Amino acid sequence: MTSASLQGGGPEPTARAAVVSVAAPARSRLMFRSQTSRRLAFGYLLLAPAALYVLLLVGAPFLFSLYLAVSDANVGDPVAKFIGVENFRAALEMEVFWTALQNSVIFLVVAAIFKSILGTSLAFLLLQEFPGKKLIRGLVVIPFTLPIAISVLAWKWMYDSQFSVINWVLSRVGLIGQYGTDSWPIWLGDPKLALLACIAVNVWRTFPFSAIVLLAGFTSVPLEVLDAAKVDGCSFFQRFRHVVAPMIFPILMIGFLFDTVFTLSDLSVVYLLTQGGPANASKILPVLAYQIGIQAGNLGRGAAIALFLVPLLAPLMFLFLRNLRRREY
């Protein structure tokens, strides 16, 4: 517009041009102020609660636990002094720490495998048309929505060494021997079974969450794409691997990320079932951190143990998020 005005020649157009050349940026600045900046400000305003939430409820406690981990803080003393990496060193010296770390990794990996298998199967089942589908969809999330203390106490009874309903059923159908014999499983007392029993409860509680996340993904895949794959002769597994999985990958990653965090930080199941026993066979890092930090009152050392989850989780999270971002481009 400005250049077009200049092409007219003579003093009048020049004067006009001068007017225009001054007025145009001013108007654009005005527009920016009035539209773009308002939109930007509105965007930041919308983001603010989330950012504030992250800063206050995630960032602040994380920084506080970092502070505790390098101090000699205990639950009853208001004064704590800086002791460097002493708490981390003390944790690494503990045999039980290494047992707990190993158990935490086993817990995470085994639970993830079972949750993937069961969650995917359940999601496919829920995709099918059958009478009472809506009711069933509602019912399957019950384990996830029940208060954890109640559901775990129910499992404690089911695992009871004497009254276990699982054992009595297995015994009646002849798969195990009578009560009191060697083939009667002691779910929470056998070092090999105790951790598995805890993992089973964690899987039972949270695989409906995996299923719901997957179900949301599956329903977002356009039917015509699936139909085209069918027409091209793809089998069920080929369709899942080459069509569905790539399309819902971002959802899968987000679900996996949440699940990893939930599983690694799950204190309640192990604490309520075994407290980490027998002889630390089912001890995981959150339980150890709780026992040392809160029950024994050694906040600094408890925080240091809990922070060992960060190097476990951070690389995983980084890889997930980087993969996700690459796929977006």
Partner 1 sequence: MTDPQPVKPSPSTLNRRKFLAAAGAGVAGGSLLTMLDAKQAPAQIKGTTLRILQWSHFIPAYDTWFDSKLTKEWGDQHGVKIRVDHIPHLELPARMAAEYAAGAGHDIIMNGSSILTRLYYKSLADLSDIYEAAGKKHGGWIPTAKALVEAEGRQYGIPLFYILLPMTYRKDLFDANGLKAPDTWELARVAARTLKPKGHPTGIQFSQCADANLNWRSILFSFGGAELDPSGENVLIDSKETREALRFAKALFDEGMTAEVFSWDDASDNRYLASGIACWVHDAISAYRTTEDTNPDVFKNTFIGMEPAGPNGKRVNTCAANVWMVWKFSKNQQAAKEFLTHMVDTFSEGMTASRGYNMPYLNGLAKKPMPVIGSDPKLQILQDFPPIVAFYGYPGPFITPIQEVVNLFVLPDMFTRVARGQSIEDVMKWGMGEYRRIFAKHKRA
Stretch of 32-40, 154-162, 205-213, 245-253 contacting partner 1, by CB under 8 A: 154-162
Stretch of 22-30, 47-55, 153-161, 218-226 contacting partner 1, by CB under 8 A: 153-161
Binders of partner 1 among residues 158 to 177 (CB under 8 A) are 159-163
Considering only 10, 132, 180, 222, the residue that binds partner 1 (CB under 8 A) is 180
> Shortest Cβ distance from residue 108 to partner 1 (Å)?
22
> Shortest Cβ distance from residue 276 to partner 1 (Å)?
6
Q: Is the peptide bond before 131 cis (omega within 30 degrees of 0)?
A: no
Considering only 166, 277, 316, 320, the residue that binds partner 1 (CB under 8 A) is 277
> Shortest Cβ distance from residue 297 to partner 1 (Å)?
4
Considering only 69, 108, 111, 188, the residue that binds partner 1 (CB under 8 A) is 188
Binders of partner 1 among residues 279 to 308 (CB under 8 A) are 279-280, 290-292, 294-299, 301
Considering only 194, 252, 269, 306, the residue that binds partner 1 (CB under 8 A) is 194
Three-state SS string over the chain comes to CHHHHHCCCCHHHHHHHHHHHHHHHHHHHHHHHHHHHHHHHHHHHHHHHHHHHHHHHHHHHHHHHHHHHCECCCCCCCCCCECCCHHHHHHHHCHHHHHHHHHHHHHHHHHHHHHHHHHHHHHHHHHCCCCCHHHHHHHHCHHHHCCHHHHHHHHHHHCCCCCCHHHHHHHHCCCCCCCCCCCCCCCCCCHHHHHHHHHHHHHHHHHHHHHHHHHHHHHCCCHHHHHHHHHCCCCHHHHHHHHHHHHCHHHHHHHHHHHHHHHHCCCHHHHHHCCCCCCCCCCCHHHHHHHHHHHCCCHHHHHHHHHCHHHHHHHHHHHHHHHHHHHHC
In terms of residues, how long is the chain?
329
Stretch of 8-16, 100-108, 252-260, 273-281 contacting partner 1, by CB under 8 A: 273-281
Site string for partner 1, 66-85 (x = CB under 8 A): ------x-xxxxx----x--
Stretch of 18-26, 55-63, 87-95, 99-107 contacting partner 1, by CB under 8 A: 87-95
Considering only 92, 110, 170, 186, the residue that binds partner 1 (CB under 8 A) is 186
Q: Which is nearer to partner 1, 31 or 75 (CB)?
A: 75
Considering only 93, 129, 224, 328, the residue that binds partner 1 (CB under 8 A) is 93
In the numeric block, the tokens 């639950």 are attached to 75
Q: Which residues are at the interface with partner 1 (CB under 8 A)?
A: 72, 74-78, 83, 86, 90, 93-96, 156, 159-163, 180, 186-191, 194, 274-280, 290-292, 294-299, 301
